[in-house]
Structure 1
């Protein structure tokens, strides 16, 4: 044990819990009675220090025994004052998560479906002239969406329905004009 400091020779931290940041005005903690949770937190810090190889098994076991026997928070502070805050220092960035834990990219919206919906909505101001492009784009978009898994099924369906309604309206107008022209003579 020559050349090594014993844990009883360590300076006491300013914080009531050395594993938590010190806040000004926390000077009266030394005599405060330790709770079971305080003892467990101190033992957790000791376990992390032992796991990192910062102390030998005999010293670890002695510190754990003293932590469970401690009556005050000050006694616990002496036991963990020379150890870091845990297995990962707080200043280090979080470790990179593997690709399986990264959120999946959201599928993009099919552009033909957007075009179909726009053409379908423009059927009203254009008196149905954009009905056929809406139908063509809507059916092409629905086919691509099924194949690629993109978003936009509702847009494509809206374009198809509005396009077919406009086309049916024009077909009805043509039929009525034909009937009127035959009737008139």
Structure 2
């Protein structure tokens, strides 16, 4: 088979490596490089590098596969209702408790779904529940006080 320019360059690279390791003298190296550039077939190139241990330059292989044992565990998906519960719970203050009841409902629904499906977001659901119940309790206290004051004054 006829040698390509890339084949000649690979053979010269092997010769350079052999010369760099001290396996070839300067004169022999120069002769072999000249013969490599004059070679017409791949067989002639193979004879020039046959006594050198390096051989053809290896091609890079595919990246090694990492065993699943050492890969990080995939994070579970966050429950959407848990996110909604947390948002409603946080919005209780600027909305004067208007989002407290939706926070409680979404929080309870999210916690039951999380237990059933194994999704993430239990902390968000609990945040929504706590803030929602505090808002609901606060409004219940305010309404009770208004009722008591209304009855006593009335």
TM-score range, shorter chain: 0.5 to 0.7
How far off its partner does 1:106 sit? 2.4
**Runs of 5+ in structure 1 lacking a partner?**
1-9, 17-26, 32-76
Matches within 5 A, 1:1-185: 13-15=15-17, 28-30=20-22, 78-82=51-55, 85=58, 89-90=59-60, 92-94=61-63, 104-185=73-154
CA shift digits 1:82-133 (9 cap, x unpaired): 3664xxx41x433667878766542111000000000000000000000000
Q: TM-score, normalization: structure 1?
A: 0.53
| Rounded Cα–Cα distance in structure 2 between residues aligned with 1:14 and 1:122 | 73
How far the C-alpha of 1:184 sits from its partner, in A, is: 0.7
What is the aligned length? 117
Can you give the 5+ residue segments of structure 2 that lack an aligned partner in the other structure? 1-10, 24-49
Contact 1:13 1:78 in 2 (8 A): no
Structure 1 stretches (4+) deviating beyond 6 angstroms? 95-102
Which one has the bigger helix percentage?
A: 2
